[in-house]
Amino acid sequence: MASPRDCARELLDVIPLVMWSVRPGVRANVQRHLSMPQFGALMYLRRHEGASLSDVAGHMGLTLPSASKLIDGLVVRGLVTRETRSDDRRRVALGIAPDGRDTIRAVREATVAELSERLAAMPAADRAAVVGAMRMLRAAFAPERPGQLVRSLGGSR
């Protein structure tokens, strides 16, 4: 029991549910509101200082132009830094600006607080099980090697 397909079906049902219940909080909880993709990009850069645009695109399942535009918005807002690398001048090194660090902290704390309220109603044992499952999923979905970059989705013709 719990075949890969069973597990996939459960995930596909429940992950969007949680994702979308979080979003209004991320967007509105603070002065410095963020869209979910902006939030995700900042969270990624927080742990991967110096990442390239391709890294971000791979992590988030975006094409390169989409990632470029997303990051550009964050650079314009002064939340992310973007520099050309001296060792390979085609590539870019992304980082979090001080204001970006403040923003991610504020939004993260507000969102965690909101989420916590819903989770407080769960039995502690269930919460522990959820934490365990999240760690397994993290291992399965965020391998150390950065994700494959999607050049084009194609496929439908």
Residue from 37, 95, 146, 147 in contact with DNA (CB under 7 A): 37
- How big is the CA angle at 59 (ends 56 and 60), to the nearest 5 degrees? 85
Distinct helix (H) and strand (E) counts, the chain: 6, 2
CA atoms within 13 A on the CB side of 25: 18
Residue 91 found at the interface with DNA (CB under 7 A): yes
Residue 38 found at the interface with DNA (CB under 7 A): yes
Residue from 26, 42, 71, 79 in contact with DNA (CB under 7 A): 71
Sign of CA dihedral 11, 143, 108, 67: negative
85 vs 133 by CB, closer to its own copies: 133
Count of Cβ atoms closer than 10 Å to residue 63 Cβ? 14
Residue from 22, 43, 68, 97 in contact with DNA (CB under 7 A): 68
Residue 110 found at the interface with DNA (CB under 7 A): no
Listed residue (107, 118, 137, 120) closest to 17, CA to CA = 118
Question: At its nearest, how many Å lie between its own copies and the CB of residue 7?
Answer: 4
Residue 88 found at the interface with DNA (CB under 7 A): yes
Which residues contact DNA by CB under 7 A? 23-24, 27-28, 35, 37-38, 52-54, 60-66, 68-73, 82, 87-92, 149-150, 152-154
